[in-house]
Structure 1
């Protein structure tokens, strides 16, 4: 499937959550949608899921607007960090509703995951802990088999072991049946190796869209004497520079091999660190 985001702006009174954002996503692929709190990630996901309208611009799924579009609604599953389900419903009722709504629903997978997460079908949503409610969201997202599955911080309340199990299950389901997965998280180091492409938003603007492989191979931190680093980074795209006691570290897009040949100390930049540096600089896309 193809998602086109065309000059999208979303205003809430005087605040702009998204500011003239444009990009394209093509599936099947696992995307990491990253950014600090208030960057506009959740707003974009709500527009994509057809929950709200953009103030200007448009989001299209295979050429169609998802808002108030019943056909597209059954192709997109958005799982947020909380309040996904009505409090008075029982787990079995939630499963029944979503099974009816999503045509590719995998009931066998849903029942398997309910057992793995030790969720009782008779339990009401209002009686669940935060972790249990997150587990139910994960189950619904995976079992929906929706061609566009969106997870927005879906693991609140889950311990490290449960999160690791979720990541493993998500990868297995993706390998078994390809789909577009958009994953938004603050625990970037835990999941960055799963991403095939990374998007970073900052204050409503897109500051980066790049394949994860390119980021791993072509972003680096180089350290050396100020004059040596300055000479190396001349003409290159620099993310940030830090200087202390005659030494400099520069974060940039460039060749690690070239930097090593110049006698500089070179390290790769983890995706989480890259996101921090980019959003501190508030760079343009």
Structure 2
């Protein structure tokens, strides 16, 4: 399903959460939606899922607005960090409700995940630990098989092994049946290899939208004498640079081969580091 974001603005009283952002997601991929706390990521996801309205502009899914649109509501699933389900419901009732709501629901997958995470079907949501509540959200997000599935920090409380299992199952399900998956997380290093495209939002603005492979191939950290590094980066777009005792390290958009040919030490930039430096950049 094609997602068109057109000049979207969202204000909460005096706070500008989204500031006239525009972009298009036009094919099924795993998208990494990154940014610091308060950048506007959750607001964007809530508008896309039809939970709230934009103050200005619009988000269209296959040409239609998602708000108060049952066809699209059945095609978009948002799993947030917490408070996804009514606290008084039992786990089995939550799963039953979602199985009836989503026409693409995969009960066999849900059953497998219940066993994987050892979830008690008779427990009430309010009695679940943070980890078990996260597991329930993950089960719903994966088993719904919604064409647009959004995970907003979905694994709070899960240990490293349980998170790893989630990533593995997510990738397996995506490979078997492509859908648009939007993944917002602060544990970027853990999941960055899953991302096919990366979007970075800062202060309500889109800072970067790029294929993950291009980012890995076309950004690098170069280190050498300050003179040599300055000479190399003079015609390049600089993300960040720092100098100490006559030596300099610069984060740049540029070929690693070029930097090596210039006699500089070269390393790739992890996507988490790239996000940090881009969102620190004044005027980004």
**TM-score normalized with structure 2 length:** 0.99
Q: Secondary structure, in 3 states, of the residue corresponding to 2:139?
A: helix
Task: Name structure 2 gaps, 5 residues minimum.
Answer: none
Corresponding residue for residue 271 of structure 2: 271
Corresponding residue for residue 209 of structure 1: 209
CA shift, 1:282, in A, is 4.1
Output the CA distance in 1 between the equivalents of 2:283 and 2:238: 11
Is 1:107–1:143's contact at 8 Å kept on the other side of the alignment?
yes
Q: Secondary structure, in 3 states, of the residue corresponding to 2:168?
A: helix
Corresponding residue for residue 168 of structure 1: 168
Superposed CA deviations along residues 193-247 of structure 1, whole A, max 9, x for unmatched, are 0000000011111100000000000000011111111111111111111011111
Give the direction of change, closer, same or farther, for the CA distance of 1:42–1:193 in structure 2 (3 Å limit): same
Question: Where in structure 1 do 4 or more consecutive aligned residues deviate above 6 Å?
Answer: none
Is 1:78–1:141's contact at 8 Å kept on the other side of the alignment?
yes
Output the CA distance in 2 between the equivalents of 1:132 and 1:159: 11
Output the CA distance in 1 between the equivalents of 2:113 and 2:94: 14
Task: Name structure 1 gaps, 5 residues minimum.
Answer: none
Structure 1 vs Structure 2 CA RMSD: 0.7
Corresponding residue for residue 234 of structure 2: 234
Corresponding residue for residue 139 of structure 1: 139
Give the direction of change, closer, same or farther, for the CA distance of 1:282–1:78 in structure 2 (3 Å limit): farther
Q: Secondary structure, in 3 states, of the residue corresponding to 1:24?
A: strand
| Corresponding pairs, count | 284
Corresponding residue for residue 58 of structure 1: 58
Corresponding residue for residue 107 of structure 1: 107
Corresponding residue for residue 30 of structure 1: 30
**TM-score normalized with structure 1 length:** 0.99
Output the CA distance in 1 between the equivalents of 2:281 and 2:155: 29
Is 1:207–1:282's contact at 8 Å kept on the other side of the alignment?
no
Output the CA distance in 1 between the equivalents of 2:203 and 2:282: 8
